Amino acid sequence: MDVDENGGKRTIAVSVVDDDPMICQTMQVIIDDYSQGRVKVVSTALNAADAVEQAKQEKPDVVLMDLAMPGCDGIEATRLLRRLDQPPHVLVLTSLSPSQTIEKAVEAGAEGFISKTDPPKEIIQRIIGACHGEPQFNAASTRQLIHRLSGSQPMTRRDEARALLDTLSERERQAALLAARGMTNQEIADHMYISERTVKAHLSSACETLSMGRVQLARLVERADLDN
């Protein structure tokens, strides 16, 4: 369960998108059986077009998105989902390790990935973590992903990234820099001697100011190359 605006508990609504009906069914069983009521699959879709239409009506909190689908692929579907008035968090549903395809998904707005072979408990944790605004990549994958993306940027993009970070308040900027290092909200709170709730507020404000998610904020920090 997640916390709603009134401080109560609510179930996290999830939509599963995969062109293989068996994958949809398997993920639904895993989520419904292992989440202890914290997460519930509200819909499944076999193609991107249906996924976007369902999201408009159902407004799921999280969409698990397969990338390799006929017609409109998962990357374009992610882009369309993130443009909705109430955009869901999108986690890439994959059987592969992060690759250049994952990079494109992040560019489209995905906030992490779930392997179809992950243990059920880890799948649940990643879904809940995404709802808390935390990127759902392991540390090694995050570093590799950010390094490849930032390494392809020309020097002028570095200056642009630095200018964008300078628009943040000092505390927002500090929280963003620590988050980009892979720290959790609690670790950032301990480092800055503030509450975890305040950390979330700083990061949410930074993301809102820059119109980007936490993964994109981390990429921006890496691109700024502040050590040089």
**Do 100 and 88 meet the contact criterion of CB atoms below 8 Å apart?**
no
Answer with the one of 82, 108, 137 that is the final residue of a domain.
137
Q: In terms of domains, do 130 and 18 share one? A: yes
- Rounded to an integer, what distance in angstroms lies between the CA atom of residue 138 and that of residue 191? 21
Q: Give the tens place of pLDDT for each residue, 75-114.
A: 889 999 999 999 999 998 876 554 556 667 777 888 888 8
- Do 176 and 68 share a structural domain? no
Q: Are both 54 and 116 inside the same structural domain?
A: yes
Task: Give 164's pLDDT tier (boundaries 50, 70, 90).
Answer: confident
Residues 6+ apart with CB under 8 A from 34: 120, 121, 123, 124
Among 57-66, 123-132, 154-163, the least confident range: 154-163
Tell me what pLDDT residue 174 has: 92
Domain identity same for 215 and 110: no
Could you tell me if 34 and 102 lie in one domain?
yes
Predicted local distance difference test score (pLDDT) of residue 145 = 60
What share of the chain has pLDDT > 90, as a percent?
A: 45
pTM of the model: 0.63
**Same-domain pairing of 81 and 40:** yes
Rounded mean pLDDT, 194-204? 92
Containing structural domain, residue 161: 154-224
CA torsion sign, 168 to 174 to 179 to 182?
Answer: positive
Whether residue 44 contacts residue 15, with contact meaning beta carbons closer than 8 Å, is answered with: yes
Nearest 10 degrees: Cα torsion 18, 22, 27, 28: 100
Total count of domains within the chain: 2
- Which CATH number does the domain housing residue 177 bear? 1.10.10.10
7 vs 190: which has the higher pLDDT: 190
Same domain as 176, residue 128 = no
Is the separation of the CB atoms in 62 and 113 below 8 Å? no
Q: Dump pLDDT digits (tens) for 18-72.
A: 999 999 999 999 999 999 999 999 999 999 999 999 999 999 999 999 988 878 8
The pLDDT, as a whole number, for residue 90 is 94
**Strands (E) located in the chain:** 2-3, 9-10, 12-17, 39-45, 62-66, 89-94, 113-115
Q: For residue 122, which amino acid is it?
A: E
